[in-house]
Amino acid sequence: MTPKAEKVEVQIKYKDLQQSFSAPPEETWFLLSKFFNQFLPSFEIVNRLKLSVDLEALAKDCEGLVGFSEEGLNLLVPKNKLTDNETLLLLLLASYLGKKLGLMEKLTLPRELLQAKLGKNGKITSTRLGELAKNDLISKTSGDEYHITTFGIIQMQKEIIPKIKAKND
């Protein structure tokens, strides 16, 4: 009878990826090395390409632009200094931020509320919302409510918020 070869058992978990090995020590070392060389660089690249929102940075960016009261969200920028699209995006961004910070119950806002806050008729509001949705900045839910997309948040932080702040200085 030959002695049973010793095996090393390894289980690796990195974010959403899990890998298990059960092999002789030399082969296990090879499999571990292969895992780190093949998978981790790919995940680092994916993480750099993945759009994600830094909530703390977003809250800082929104200081002086939006506020929350018992009555709901408020724009702190005069509407006459904003375009219709900037107003709608800022309202939806505030809704996102309010939900994430626990200041609001829902992530979405109904079209009627957006129309009232915009102060324009239904046709203009629907047209502007359609333009924003077409550009993937916002998304419409099945219940005629809207929310800002992750892409929309990133665009707000990179381009639109700096423009709004520059106009209001």
- Residue 96: give its domain's CATH number: 1.10.10.10
% residues pLDDT > 70 (the chain): 92
Would you state the pLDDT for residue 137?
Answer: 97
Asked whether residue 76 is domain-assigned, the answer is yes
Query: Average pLDDT for residues 104-129, to the nearest whole number?
Result: 95
Asked whether residue 2 is domain-assigned, the answer is no
Asked if pLDDT for residue 37 goes beyond 90, the answer is no
Domain count across the chain: 2
Average pLDDT, the chain: 88
126, 45: one domain: no
Asked whether residue 120 is domain-assigned, the answer is yes
Would you state the pLDDT for residue 151?
Answer: 96
Asked whether residue 1 is domain-assigned, the answer is no
* pLDDT, tens digit, 9 for 90 and up, residues 71-116: 889 999 998 999 999 999 999 999 999 999 999 999 999 999 999 9
Please, which residues have CB within 8 angstroms of residue 90's CB and are 6 or more apart in sequence? Answer: 65, 66, 75, 77, 82, 156, 164
Angle between helices 111-118 and 84-100 (to 10 degrees): 130
Would you state the pLDDT for residue 3?
Answer: 56
Q: Which domain holds residue 15?
A: 8-49
44, 61: one domain: no
Final residue belonging to a domain, choices 18, 34, 49? 49
Please, which residues have CB within 8 angstroms of residue 105's CB and are 6 or more apart in sequence? Answer: 99
pTM: 0.73
Distance between CA atoms of 143 and 146, rounded to whole angstroms?
9
